[in-house]
A and B are shown apart, each in its own frame.
Chain A
Amino acid sequence: MASLVLLVVFLVRLALHPLIIEPATAAHLTCVRMLCTEGLTLSVNFFDRIWPPLLVLLYPLGWLARFTSLSTIAALNCFVAILITGAVYFCLKQARHLPSSLSFDTAALKLLPLVVIAFANLTFNNMSAAGQLFPIFLAPFLAYLPRLGRRSFGVPAFYLMLASSLEPCLTLYLLLIVAATYPFFVFAHRKKAIFLLFGTVVAYPALSFLLCFALDTASIGRYLDTVAYIDWLDFKNFNDYLYWMEKSPDLRSAIYAIIVMLSLAMAFTIRHGRLNRLLIYSSLLGFAYFIASQILTTPFLLPMFFFAFLGFTACLRQRRLLALAVLPLVFLGSLAYVAAQEYNSLFRIKNDLSIFAEFFKDLKCERVMILSWYPRPGFPLIEQLKLKPALCTYVYPFMAFHHGTDSEQARLRLLELENAFYNGINSALNSKKPPTLLLIEDGDIRQRLEDTGVMKSVYEKYVQMASLSPNSQDELDKHPCFEYPGYRNTFSAFMLTKE
């Protein structure tokens, strides 16, 4: 019942905030929209760091944008809401088959639907972030574990397929979790089911790569050169601007809480609770995922938090004295948090649009170009306002360009991509339909554009009309708060003077 109440709350919130979305996901939506509506080719005349499995999944939304006026964000959120509802329903249904005696494992599975929907509510501001969706998509798989090898295999397999599409890192994470079910749940009649589930996780990404290759034989090569290679360089190197104070969100309190929850959960389940140990294991892998992100923002912490929270609350639930408190605490705590967030959002900020929204709306430009290191502040705003960015969602390879690489061969390879970007920017500025508005991040990006001569084209055709700051109190008061790694540089806004 508590789960259903929270589910209704979640769906109502989504109806009230149809445009709420996490920036990186919004950038991917913009990418598919541009590919479908403008007939562009990924990594040739439009760049984004989406990978093929996710591209295949989101592509229908791009077509939806082409033939309807429906917002891709609203459509995605609607789809995600259906998926979350489906996941919760499946977990509730599986929970009915559980024995009434409360072991650690059954406690975890009985709490699972409530924790999933509470989690979705608590992470609402990061709606549709990969880190938010990943544990939710794993929930049916967890619920299915006691009945491995039996019917209703299709539902957890489907959700695992979705989980494997989000990001390459999360696919590896998922493989490690599914592989670990073998030692945890190794009974003869379940081995086949585990192998099949493992196969699902591998099969979907493989098939999507094959599909992309079949449609365009050069697409995989381009993905490897322009996205996978940059992902690898970003992981290998480190943005040294993040050495300094306050250059990434301070999530230490959350990490302390998670570590304490994990430690106590381990203490409770050392003797019993295979599933709980699997949850703790998954949370520990989540810590590695969080660290590997390098920018260490909240969406990357969510999987670690989810598994730790579920494992810990299950341990409390299993103890007789605490059992009565856990459910009401989770339920009421979630409601209180939601109420506080909604009050802030509906009555104070009154705006789901991201920062600089007023500036963009006032100018009424459709074609824009925002050149920034990270998705913010261009996203999710560009997708919320259905603007058309030229050439790229954001300059995602810039950290690699800026910090360089060690070997000569790698340096030349990077230089080729860098030239493609700057030539692409120049071409876009000098095309028949150049972007009407340019937003260029001051600091290293602008300096690089000066050095490569791109700014010459800008000065010839555009006039600087404003300087926008992500630190402006006015912006911070009117829009939802956000996380932002690195320096919060100002953005110079340039308007096209002649078509």
Chain B
Amino acid sequence: MSKPGHYFLLALLLVLIFSLRMLVSIFAHPLRIGWDPALHLQCAELITMGKIPYVDMFDVNPPLIWYLDTIPAYFSKVWQVPQTLTFNLFLVGLMAVSALLSSFVIFRRLPANEIKDRELLYLGLICGLLFFNFHLRYDFGQREEIFVLFYFPYLLLRYARYLGARFNGTEAALIGVFGSIGICLKHYFVLVAFFVELVLFIALRRRGETKSVLLSPENIACLVFALLYAGHFLLAPPAMYDNYFHFLIPAFAKGYQFWDTCLANSLGACDKRGVFFLLCAGSALSLLVMPRYKVLLPLTVFSLLSVIPYLMQFKGWNYHDIPVFAGACILLTCLGGIVVDRLGKLPIKDLQPVMPILTVCLIAGYSLVNALDEINQTRAERQFDLARLGFSTIFGLNLSSPYSDIDSPFTETLLKYAKAKDNVLFISNGVSPGYPLLTQLALSPTSRHLHCCILSVLAFIKDTQRPTAEVKKLLAREPEVIAQYAEDIKKNRPPLIYIQVAPVSAYLEQYKFVETHMKDYAKLGEAANFYVYKRADL
């Protein structure tokens, strides 16, 4: 194997292997989805039904992820398949496109002298970009993962640009927009992208090319998209603009610390520190070989800098460190590629030319065995019939879902008292448990408030902030939120209402909410810190 074209084909093969492997997982678990991705998918579905963000549905996240999710939400309706499945298929597609674009940038556009003797390193990079997605499970589809997938081809293009690679305007602009979508998902990602660009500029810029490298088509496209996205808020309906910028953002800016943790838990807890140890190992080892393998510089810096958004959010939620994990994974697979390359240079006849193909074959073999294992394991589990949700066949296949994907303390009551397309209400100060259950069981949300995080935020503001005019204005919206819940219950008459015992019951108690607005409901019992109410006529 000597030409970049051959390695490009190997990269395509890797993309195919990993994508097929992921498809097996997805079809084995057609209902599997995490809570945040399910929430965003719900918002996207509501947008496809003509609902207005922050007016007909309340959540504090910026809307770009919902606009993106309208794609799987739309195809779910067209193909008549569960949204969770179309969403996961969308992600596999995104994973494949990201890896394909990255392979294209590396093997078709990087100068030949930059690829020579580094082919396996770059194949390792593609491997890592695909591989990290398999370790996310319920965080598959979080914005952090989507950011990595959108951003990486752009990062590699920028790296290639600084090394003198040439791109035509269209392909550069497309990758620029691609990258911008990822960066604009959360404002923290702008920081990472900016510093990676700064590091590339300092390390690799060449005299006389500064202007052309900085004012390149991909950068312009990236900036234009970001400005268009920011600017679209100016065209938003007044109620949407007002609720988002004058209520939700100021409230969460002051009160999101309700869920804050401490530094020890963020970095040192047993279930979290592994990612940072991987980062240290990957980065430290990369430094030993960095001058020879320059691509390790932006990868290491990306991984390190991704710690900053994780700590800035300060919730200690594992998915916030996905970019760190992805970066560390990619670094380690790059280093793995270097090791394989060195092994190939051992004095064994004909080893070197076949080493790449041998490696890809090993990966394919392992994927196949792993896929068969997963199929056997899921078949042995208790199954949930998707026909209960109105999906007797999916793409002509009789699929079922492992019950464990929808199992929760609330599943039995939901299946007993609600059916597909019913609306159900969870009043919880977290996205879960309402999501992913509502999405998985094809239920609609009763209320425009998809969760009541806003009540915890306002309670935190009340307890911790001085009563300035702005604070009073925010707190004055609390009765409005309660009234909206009441209005939605009256209008939609959900068969089931779940109210979180602590802390939500205390918020509602001061308004005598249950006594006043849930007269038609009887308490069924309690489950996992939730009071369960059933409509009396059921």
Residues of A whose CB lies within 8 Å of any CB of B are 176, 180, 183-184, 236-239, 242-252, 255-256, 259-260, 262-264, 266-268, 270-271, 277, 280-281, 284-285, 287-288, 290-296, 485
Contact = CB atoms under 8 A, between A and B. Distances in A.
Contacts of B279: 287
Interface string B196-227: 00111011000000000000000000000000
B290 A256 contact: no
B264 A247 contact: yes
B202 A296 contact: no
Contacts, number: 125
Contact of B267 (A256, A284, A296): A296
B199 A264 contact: yes
A270 B297 contact: yes
Contact of B297 (A247, A266, A296): A266
Contact of A245 (B260, B276, B294, B312): B260
Contacts of A288: 276-277, 280-281
Nearest to B276: A291
B287 interface: yes
Interface in B303-328: 304-305, 307-308, 311-312, 314, 316
Given A180-B288, A294-B268, A296-B268, A287 B199 contact: no
B25 interface: no
A287 to B, nearest CB: 5
Given A238-B268, A248-B265, A264-B199, 20 more contacts: A184-B288, A242-B265, A243-B261, A244-B262, A248-B263, A249-B263, A252-B314, A255-B311, A263-B195, A266-B287, A266-B290, A266-B297, A267-B301, A271-B203, A277-B288, A287-B276, A288-B276, A288-B281, A291-B276, A291-B277
A287 B280 contact: yes
A281 B288 contact: yes
Contacts of B267: 290-291, 296
Contact of A246 (B262, B270, B284, B300): B262
A187 B279 CA distance: 29
Contacts of B283: 284
24 contacts: A236-B270, A239-B264, A244-B265, A248-B265, A250-B262, A256-B308, A259-B304, A259-B307, A259-B308, A266-B199, A266-B290, A266-B301, A267-B198, A267-B199, A267-B297, A270-B291, A271-B291, A281-B288, A285-B280, A288-B281, A290-B267, A291-B276, A292-B268, A296-B268
Contacts of B135: none
Nearest to B275: A291
A314 B405 CA distance: 54
B268 A242 contact: yes
A249 B277 CA distance: 21
Given A237-B270, A252-B311, A294 B264 contact: yes
A237 B269 CA distance: 8
B257 interface: yes
A281 B257 CA distance: 34
A379 to B, nearest CB: 20
B273 interface: yes
Contact of A285 (B269, B284, B294): B284
Contact of B305 (A180, A263, A295): A263
A235 to B, nearest CB: 9
| Nearest 9 A/B pairs, CB to CB | A248-B264, A267-B202, A288-B280, A242-B264, A267-B199, A267-B203, A247-B262, A294-B268, A248-B262
B334 to A, nearest CB: 15
B268 A291 contact: yes
Contacts of A242: 262, 264-265, 268-269
A292 B274 CA distance: 10
Given A256-B308, A281-B287, A285-B284, A268 B260 contact: no
A interface, by DSSP: helix, strand, loop or mixed? helix
A262 B304 CA distance: 9
A245 B304 contact: no
B interface, by DSSP: helix, strand, loop or mixed? helix
A291 B261 contact: no
Contacts of A180: 284, 288
Nearest to A259: B304
Given A255-B311, A271-B291, A291-B277, A485 B264 contact: yes
A238 B288 CA distance: 32
Given A263-B301, A267-B199, A296 B288 contact: no
A419 to B, nearest CB: 27
A310 to B, nearest CB: 15
A245 B262 CA distance: 5
Contacts of A277: 287-288, 290
A294 B262 CA distance: 11
Given A268-B202, A284-B284, A291-B268, A251 B263 contact: yes
Contacts of A296: 263-264, 267-268
Contacts of A266: 199, 203, 287, 290, 297, 300-301
A252 B267 CA distance: 11
Contacts of A256: 308, 311
A281 B301 CA distance: 13
Nearest to B268: A294
Given A252-B314, A262-B304, A263-B305, A281 B284 contact: yes
Contacts of A295: 264, 268
A307 to B, nearest CB: 12
Given A285-B284, A287-B276, A296-B267, A263 B260 contact: no
Nearest to A184: B288
Contacts of B311: 252, 255-256
A106 B152 CA distance: 36
Contacts of B305: 259, 263
A60 B148 CA distance: 56
Nearest to B277: A288
Q: Could you say which of B203, B267, B279 has the most chain A C-beta atoms within 10 Å of its C-beta?
A: B267
A250 B261 CA distance: 10
A317 B41 CA distance: 51
B195 to A, nearest CB: 6
A236 B273 CA distance: 11
Contact of B273 (A248, A255, A291): A291
A312 to B, nearest CB: 12
A247 B266 CA distance: 11
A287 B264 CA distance: 13
Contacts of A263: 195, 199, 301, 304-305
Contacts of B273: 291-292
A270 B203 contact: yes
Contacts of A255: 307-308, 311
Contacts of A287: 276, 279-280
B290 A270 contact: yes
Interface in B174-195: 195
Contacts of B280: 284-285, 287-288, 291
Interface string B234-275: 000000000000000000000001001111110111100100
Nearest to B265: A243
Contacts of A267: 198-200, 202-203, 297, 301
A293 B284 contact: no
Nearest to B278: A288
A255 B263 CA distance: 11
A264 B314 CA distance: 24
A267 B281 CA distance: 19
A245 B261 contact: yes
